[in-house]
Homo-oligomer: A and B are copies of this chain.
């Protein structure tokens, strides 16, 4: 490897400034506030005390201006969408129950009122939502319908006689379940239900429904259950809700996208029931983006713990001098942690790009639909990849700390237990990746949030054009790098960014073409669309994954471009190489099978990953310090004694 050498000591602060990106100033403020508040993980509390502590921390948080950031200035909000998401995701450094509880209150509940409601709802609810005068729930998921929310069973039928909606849970499968804030603290819920008026169903709509009275007792007709202990996040009071003919006024309908007149006449600017519902869902992606971001913070924290430990823990004597070897000097240990660290850098930059795009698109008055759909797709894809990465990496970090990593005092157990559900909530990852592939196949022309897998088939069958790569970041730099990349495949080209980019783009195009070809078979007269889809499902998921990989790489390239410190930049170049080459290594069977790389080159990729691990090992501590995680979140006894 003939690469520029990395200076012995790189300034962590220079890396932090690249990582902090567009909302750097806010991040600094949040860190300062966190250090002041001394929020600690609560691994030794029983469920009720933990819930109480999280509610208290939520109130402390309400006293800062952060929860207001995402709301309209007209109601005392900050009008800063990106800043809002950034401050939510940074809660991921601490007790994740607080992040989730805050996300439920201000992101999901408050976000639904703001984005699906109109002035009458904003006037009445936004201020108490911001200051916690009104605690609320987001009641979408049902026992019988988690991913397929278009087919929820709860109904809200309009009664013109009393000008009310009657909210009803027809059966056990239609119980709202896993609902945060429901078991203990919530007073109101945004309930998603099939709207029925004049005998006709008009699809799923959202309604504000009181669930508890002033005394905290269930409102009449509302049945509330506690979901009980969970694998993690026990500071959040998840519950089940059922409604027995509960009457709410006509104005309870969050009516930005549809309304029902006093006489029961239904009106909406969007004709298709499905399209309307998926448009509503599309506005609510902040939650998904925040989950991806806080999964990232939690992963960074786990890596910081494991790398600090690996940097001081010694085991087995080195032959000759009798000194015990620091475990991060072992290649197996480096391989466990350093490619994961490189991937965390990559995902951090992708998240930062995503938040910026969210801010620009949701903050703009006239957004074209294509950009909106691309944003939804990217949010889904980054969330899936980032949360799986979190689960894998936190597990590795736990194992890398041996028995110490299993003790709650060393913080990794809560990180692992709390983040586990991220892979299946706010959209099941498998379903989300299908959705990404669907967006690519239909060039984001279709109702994006229609998660129905089979929906993909219809469109793809009509998709005749070859896949087109649409770059999401650093477009000019990428063009330049690709143009300058070598035509020949020599060993050094492994480290050529242009070659790497081309390889990722080429993989994406090829996989996507393959999916389109397979799905087109559904058009045959004797084809069973389900069978066609099912036979292609692996390829569909792979298409989603490799697309996200490419988008993530582009974000990394953009981050390197904006890095002004030359030493930090040299280091980031190598971290990017490790991200790319460990990704290729993991998928090298595909590259070999499709004649993209030779056997010799595949082996060279493995060697290069080893070489990069060795090269980055002396900088591992700097790389985790650069995350600038407030020290109280790293106060594990295993690191001090």
Contacts and interface: CB of A to CB of B under 8 A. Distances in A.
B403 A423 contact: no
Chain A, interface residues (CB within 8 Å), range: 35 or more
Interface stretch (A285-293, A299-307, A327-335): A327-335
State how many copies of this chain the complex holds: 2
Given A43-B229, A406-B424, A599-B592, A317 B151 contact: yes
Interface in A597-621: 599, 602-603, 610
B537 A454 contact: no
A325 B403 contact: no
A177 B403 contact: yes
Interface in A465-524: none
A146 B407 CA distance: 15
Contact of A592 (B177, B324, B335, B602): B602
A534 B534 CA distance: 44
A641 B399 CA distance: 36
Interface centre among A151, A230, A405, by most B CB within 10 Å? A230
A566 interface: no
A212 interface: no
A318 interface: yes
Nearest to A336: B430
B454 A402 contact: no
Contacts of A232: 406, 413
Interface string A537-556: 11001000000000000000
A74 interface: no
A75 interface: no
A230 B588 contact: no
Interface stretch (A117-125, A370-378, A414-422): A414-422
A13 interface: no
Contact of A229 (B315, B408, B530): B408
Given A231-B406, A602-B593, A317 B141 contact: no
A537 B146 CA distance: 45
A60 interface: no
Contacts of A417: 231, 413, 417
Interface in A225-259: 227-232
Contact of A146 (B315, B528, B599): B315
Interface in A22-55: 43-44, 46
A178 B530 contact: no
B330 A537 contact: yes
A227 B43 CA distance: 13
A71 B151 CA distance: 60
A176 to B, nearest CB: 12
A73 to B, nearest CB: 36
A535 interface: yes
Given A331-B538, A530-B319, A403 B141 contact: yes
Given A402-B428, A537-B332, A408 B315 contact: no
Given A317-B151, A538-B331, A229 B399 contact: no
A155 interface: no
A275 interface: no
21 contacts: A228-B408, A228-B409, A230-B407, A231-B406, A231-B408, A316-B452, A319-B529, A325-B530, A331-B537, A331-B538, A332-B430, A332-B537, A395-B395, A399-B429, A406-B424, A417-B417, A588-B589, A589-B589, A592-B592, A593-B599, A595-B599
